[in-house]
Amino acid sequence: MSDRPATPLLDRIKSPADMKALSLPELRQLADELRTETISAVSETGGHLGAGLGVVELTVALHHIFDTPRDRVIWDVGHQVYPHKILTGRRDRIRTLRQRGGLSGFTKRTESPYDPFGAGHSSTSISAATGFTMARELGGTPDPALGDAVAVIGDGSMTAGMAFEALNNAGHLKKRMFVILNDNDMSIAPPVGALSTYLSRLYEAEPFQELKAAAKGAVKLLPEPFQEGARRAKEMLKGMTVGGTIFEELGFSYIGPIDGHDIEHLVGVLRTVHDRATGPVLLHVITQKGKGYAPAETAADKGHATGKFDMVTGKQHKKASNAPSYTSVFGKVLTQLAEADDKVCAITAAMPDGTGVGMMADRYPTRTFDVGIAEQHAVTFCAGLAAGGMKPFCALYSTFLQRGYDQVVHDVAIQRLPVRFMIDRAGLVGQDGATHAGSFDLAYLGNLPGFVIMSPSDEAELMHMVATAHAIDDRPSAVRYPRGEGVGVDMPEVPKVLEIGKGRIVEEGKRVALLSLGTRLDHARGAAEKLAQRGITPTVADARFMKPLDEELILGLARDHEVLITIEEGAVGGFGSHVAQLLAEHGAFDHGLRYRSMVLPDTFIDHGSPDQMYEDAHLTAADIEAKVLEALGIADIGAKRA
């Protein structure tokens, strides 16, 4: 017999169609069982927990009322969808979450018709819902015709400009669509900013008793029992100088706040809104992140993400590692720099812990800024700080910096402002998969004139590079480093400032040169060791800089070796492409140099363990060894794969 908790009602639900006839008490029971099943599954897989627990009732109510998948429920970020996956025919695979070949940790169009729109990055849902709505109006998918679009977006995700761009557009278009603002007063860290304060005011003014429906005509969108209260709220709001809510000003009927854990209440309001709405409606739903599982409810991040854990105690099974994470090394050096230099300031976009900026915030709160999920603003805010004489460190994940690319070009690079980009999670990130991989930063920054771009091969090198970025005061710079722990090298007491554009030879050899940028260096060395057993002793070099390139080093390696191989954890168009350009310009190929560039493949690599992903990407030590043998024309491409 299984140790897993009994879930008799959930066992009967094979798809949302099985939920339509359930009574309110049954829906309540289903929500309880769904919560238990979610906790049980995540205890075995690890992953995002708190957000899913907070939307259990909402998930049940939405699938009960709306006609999914014809109606499109679009979950913002997608980190809260495990309960949704369980109810939509994926329960049998829920314990494969985030594993190779298993379910994605986010919504994915190829996974299920119940995932109409893929996600991973935040604040896209209202735009996508507006698109679905207009596609419906224009007859985009005639058979079966598109139904309603429902965007479910968190209070943290609502802070992004893109969410407001979408509200602005949807409010103007005036078509029937739904935005559910899932307000748990929490992002990954406690939310900061004026919007968060504003939402709290909406709730604190009349928590649940006097449901506000102040928009013109919105009272009729409420079930009868609420209409009287809403009328009073409307009268009250009329008397207030602030007028209606910001959402009404943007053209939405605002209804709320609604208790997102009271299923009777939720179902009642959703049903009425579903039956009566003619234009865009925003439902403000109050929930609790981590709801129903004490270890999550009481965690500082409300159980946002977790490794595997013991379901009874909530204790995580953690892997021991002796090496510090790159993030913590950055946070420590940053804080030291801030101590010595009062011009140093740091910016995070809602990820103080994920980026290490939280360490500096503890010591120097007035020089540390959490701008919310607002990467575009973060970049231009830094540009302003730099133009104003500060030394901003803009700490973002590689994948999220993509959001701010125009700002990097237009506001930072063209004005040659000394913003220091600290790009965490560069390269493959494992279980979060393709949406979170930091594959493109080398390619999209490398082409910008004036930038200095560095990538450390280990955690001590990261220390030096952060100090080097601090010293670069006449142009933009970037340091990109991976997720996870360093390689366990000795750490210097004090970081040193590196000479700009200078790499280093790590091992002298002959015939073959391995030139690595970033933390694949360790694997290049591993390949060199294996090759030594075959009598091949490659030179191994650490480029340190992608821009400016160490031309002397690279041209010297090309001159003195038969084979030159560059290795990087980035997409084509990055370091290797710049090296190839340099070699071509200097005629290095005219003399028979055999050059190979090892980059991430031209495909999006799905979630899996980091090691599996490196294998998929052909970037392991065995792959480097095989590449050397192939380039040398040695038939025994014995190594692991051809």
Ligand X SMILES: Cc1ncc(C[n+]2csc(CCOP(=O)(O)OP(=O)(O)O)c2C)c(N)n1
Give the binding range for ligand X (CB under 6 A) out of 148-156, 232-240, 468-476, 511-519: 148-156
Give 115: exposed, middle or buried? Use CB within 10 Å, 0-12, 13-18, 19+: buried
Q: Which is nearer to ligand DXP, 292 or 354 (CB)?
A: 354
Alpha helices in 277-397 (DSSP H): 294-297, 326-340, 352-355, 357-363, 375-387
Is residue 186 part of the contact set for Mg ion (CB under 5 A)?
yes
121 is in an annotated binding site: yes
* Contact indicator for 149, 133 with CB cutoff of 8 Å: yes
Cβ atoms of 504 and 552 within 8 Å: the answer is: no
Q: Please state at what angle helix 621-632 crosses helix 521-532, rounded to 10 degrees.
A: 60
Under 8 Å between Cβ of 391 and 470: yes
Q: Select the residue interacting with ligand X from 188, 202, 215, 513 (CB under 6 A).
A: 188
Helix, strand or coil, per DSSP, at residue 603: coil
**Is 289 designated active site?**
yes
Q: Contact letters (x/-) for ligand X, 295-334, by CB under 6 A?
A: ----------------------------------------
Nearest to 517 by CA among 423, 453, 583, 421: 453
545-547 and 539-542 strand pairing: unpaired
- Exactly one of 120, 154, 279, 509 binds Mg ion (CB under 5 A); which one? 154
Per the annotation, does 377 bind a ligand? no
Q: How far is the CB of 107 from ligand DXP (least distance, A)?
A: 12
Per CB under 6 A, contacts with ligand X among 346-365 are: 349-351
Side-chain-facing half-sphere of 39: CA atoms under 13 Å: 27
Report helix, strand and coil shares of the chain as percent, to nearest 5.
Answer: 45, 15, 40
Which CB atom, from 77 or from 598, has the smaller least distance to ligand DXP?
77
Nearest approach in angstroms of CB 42 to ligand DXP is 13
264 by DSSP, 3-state: which?
Answer: helix
Q: Judged by CB, which is closer to ligand DXP: 94, or 305? A: 305
Q: What is each CA distance from 424 to 326, 397, 529, in whole angstroms?
A: 8, 5, 29
Q: Binding of Mg ion at residue 54 (CB under 5 A)?
A: no
Contact 301, 353 (CB under 8 A): yes
Query: Cβ neighbours of residue 426 under 8 Å, at least 6 residues apart?
Result: 398, 438, 441, 455, 480, 481, 482, 518, 569, 570
Is residue 483 annotated as a catalytic residue, yes or no? no
Rounded CA separation 480/294 (Å) = 37
The region of 118-126, 183-191, 278-286, 462-470 touching Mg ion under the rule CB under 5 A is: 183-191
Name every residue whose Cβ is closer than 8 Å to that of residue 450 and which is 6 or more positions away in sequence. Answer: 413, 416, 475, 476
Which residue stretch of 132-140, 197-205, 345-353, 457-465 sits at the interface with ligand X (rule: CB under 6 A)? 345-353
Give min distance, CB of 389 to ligand DXP, in A: 32
Q: With contacts defined by CB under 6 A, how many residues of the chain interact with ligand X?
A: 23
In terms of Cα–Cα distance, which of 10, 351, 386 is closest to 190? 351
108 counts as binding ligand X under rule CB under 6 A: no
Exposed/middle/buried for 342, CB within 10 Å: 0-12, 13-18, 19+? Answer: exposed
The answer to the question of residue 79 lying near ligand X (CB under 6 A) is yes
Tell me how far, at minimum, the Cβ of 79 lies from ligand X, in Å. 5
Q: How many residues bind Mg ion (CB under 5 A)?
A: 5
Check whether 293 is labelled as a binding-site residue: yes
What is the 3-state secondary structure of 15-32? CHHHHCCCCHHHHHHHHH
- Is 157 a known ligand-binding residue? yes
* Closest separation in Å from C-beta 210 to Mg ion: 23
Amino acid identity of 624?
Answer: I
Beta carbon nearer to Mg ion, 185 or 522: 185
Q: Considering beta carbons, is residue 350 or 454 the nearer one to ligand X?
A: 350
Positions that interact with ligand DXP (CB under 6 A) = 48, 77, 79, 188, 305, 354, 425, 429, 432, 483
Complex with ligand X: residue 379 or 452, whichever CB lies closer: 379
122 is in an annotated binding site: yes
Which residue among the candidates 33, 37, 57, 375 is catalytic per the annotation?
375
d(CA 570, CA 551): 20
Candidates 403, 480, 483, 520; catalytic one: 403
Q: Which is nearer to ligand X, 120 or 486 (CB)?
A: 120
Smallest separation, CB 402 to ligand X (Å): 9
Q: Which of 43, 80, 104, 107 binds ligand X (CB under 6 A)?
A: 80
The least CB distance from residue 151 to Mg ion, in Å, is 14
- What is the H or E stretch that residue 178 is in? strand 177-183
416 in active site: no
Spatial CA neighbour of 395 closest among 425, 422, 365? 422
Distance of alpha carbon 262 from alpha carbon 58, whole angstroms: 9
| Contact predicate 316/308, CB 8 Å | yes
CB 351 within 8 A of CB 189: yes
If the CB atoms of residues 50 and 576 are measured against Mg ion, the closer one turns out to be: 50
By C-alpha distance, which of 497, 345, 488, 495 is closest to 422?
345
CB of 136 to Mg ion, least distance (A): 28
- Using CB under 5 A as the binding rule, whether residue 260 contacts Mg ion is answered as no
Among the listed residues 91, 98, 289, 302, the single catalytic one is 289
Single-letter amino acid code for the residue at 58: L
Q: Is 187 annotated as a binding residue?
A: no
Query: What does the DSSP 8-state code read for residue 461?
Result: H
Judged by beta carbon, residue 42 or residue 541, the one nearer ligand X is: 42
CA gyration radius, the chain: 27
- Binders of ligand X among residues 540 to 599 (CB under 6 A) are none
- Binding partner at 425 among ligand X, Mg ion, ligand DXP, none, C-beta below 5 to 8 Å by kind: ligand DXP
Binding piece for Mg ion, criterion CB under 5 A, among 181-189, 228-236, 507-515, 529-537: 181-189
Which range of residues in 180-188, 240-248, 308-316, 409-417 is near ligand X by CB under 6 A?
Answer: 180-188
Interface residue with Mg ion, options 155, 259, 432, 461 (CB under 5 A): 155
Q: Which residues fall in the annotated binding site for thiamine diphosphate?
A: 79, 120-122, 156-157, 184, 293, 375
Q: Which residues fall in the annotated binding site for Mg(2+)?
A: 155, 184
Q: Which residues are at the interface with Mg ion (CB under 5 A)? A: 154-156, 184, 186
Catalytic site residues? 289, 375, 403
